[in-house]
Amino acid sequence: MKAEAFLPDDYRPAEDEPFMNDRQTEYFRRKLTDWKASIMEETAQTIEGMKDGTRNIPDVADRASEETDMALELRTRDRERKLISKIDAALRRIDEGEYGYCAETGDPISLKRLDARPIATMSLEAQERHERREKVHRDD
């Protein structure tokens, strides 16, 4: 693994620097790693909350409300579990030197798109084409 590139705290990738240079790569690696750590921490808190939260609630309406809240929380955690696998895939692409390039066209994905959605695998244009095709086939 390559040595970490020095990044000032206020660093933001810029269009006027070489695409996916060491600093940009490190910026996105840290962003993805921090995001994953945050999700893992929230998951641990949810698990602890559910352990502590198991109690006998005699009122049927209150119990139903609590169970609904718990189901919603579990659904959110399941979505985040899937998100973690996408974050891990993005980190692998960084290690392999493929991060930041569209899986469909091979063109660079815009830095703004990557900053907003660091797990993106397609450029905005390719993603829009993909979604249009998906919608056409879904309507059949």
DSSP 71-117: HHHHHHHHHHHHHHHHHHHHHHHHHHT-TTB-TTT-PBPPHHHHHH-
Average pLDDT, rounded, for the chain: 88
Q: Kindly state the average pLDDT of the residues 21-37.
A: 96
Find the range with the poorest average confidence among 68-72, 92-96, 118-122, 134-138: 134-138
Residue 55 has pLDDT above 80, yes or no: no
**pTM over cut 0.75:** yes
Give me the pLDDT at residue 1, please.
45
pLDDT at 139: 58
Domain ranges of the chain: 18-99, 102-139
Residues 6+ apart with CB under 8 A from 112: none
Beta bridge partners of 31: none
State residue 4's pLDDT score.
59
CATH topology of domain 18-99: Four Helix Bundle (Hemerythrin (Met), subunit A) (1.20.120)
Q: Around Cβ 13, how many Cβ atoms within 10 Å?
A: 19
